[in-house]
Amino acid sequence: MRRVVQSGVMGVFAIESLRARTKYVTGPDGSPLTIADLPTPGTNRWVIRRKAEVVAAVRGGLLSLEEACSRYMLTVDEFLSWQHSIDQHGLAGLRSTRTQQYRQK
């Protein structure tokens, strides 16, 4: 959805994109997941559950990829590696101790 916003004295128009925000998504354990349920910004200790919640939030439209990377100080590559690990190996693929074993397969 887009809306036109008039700004300034000269009547300059700007197109502003409005994205419909999802209120909740299904979390990795099957329960509803809202913004309030996500890990706090600045999280340093990334356990499997927290990684999976962020991936579910982006996939479900609760956060955009850019918002997630900014909020959690992640690189796009890091987020995509989490997503790929879930796709290839399930939640167990997010274990940092098993990363090397999964990469060899």
pLDDT at 29: 94
* Location of structure tokens 């609760």: 62
In the chain, the domains with their CATH numbers are 22-104 (1.10.10.10)
Give the mean model confidence (pLDDT) for residues 66-93: 95
Contact residues for 57 (Cβ-Cβ < 8 A; gap 6+): 25, 33, 35, 38, 63, 68
Residue-wise pLDDT tens digits, 29-59: 999 999 999 999 989 899 999 999 999 999 9
CA torsion sign for 26, 28, 30, 31 is: negative
Beta strand ranges found along the chain (DSSP E):
2-7, 12-17, 25-26, 32-33
